[in-house]
Amino acid sequence: MIPGGGQPDMQQLLQQAQKMQQDLAAAQQELGETPVEGSAGGGLVKATVTGSGELTGLVIDPKAVDPEDTETLADLVVAAVRDANSAAQELQQEKLGPLAQGLGGGGLPGLPF
């Protein structure tokens, strides 16, 4: 039994859950709007993704383009996108990690925590 004979304040619990849900939605929206850059080949290839991992831009320096060696260029593009996605994952941890802690440490099933 709860001290004082009362029940947990369900209204307060629901308000807290709703606030956490709003905070999570706001953080996810911010991630979707935040550009993150990655590069490869000493900056010959630069990829831009959103904080949520969507590829939004790709810049290839003409020096990286060799018609005889498209395989290296493809490798540089993949490496730049991976670098950008890695930076996006770090940003996700920074923005969403504290919210996951507020949800009991393990996050919620189906969410990337």
pLDDT digits (tens, 9 = 90+) for 51-79: 888 899 999 999 999 999 999 999 999 99
Q: How many residues belong to the chain?
A: 113
Examine the pLDDT at 14 and tell me if it is beyond 90. no
Examine the pLDDT at 7 and tell me if it is beyond 90. no
- φ, ψ for residue 40 (rounded to 5)? -150, 160
Residues whose CB falls within 8 Å of the CB of residue 82, separated by 6 or more in sequence, listed in order: 38
The CA distance from 33 to 94, in Å, is 15
Going along the chain from its start, the domains and CATH numbers come out as: 33-102 (3.30.1310.10)
pLDDT reported for residue 4: 53
Cβ atoms of 87 and 36 within 8 Å: the answer is yes
Examine the pLDDT at 5 and tell me if it is beyond 70. no
CA dihedral 21, 24, 29, 34 (to 10 degrees): 170
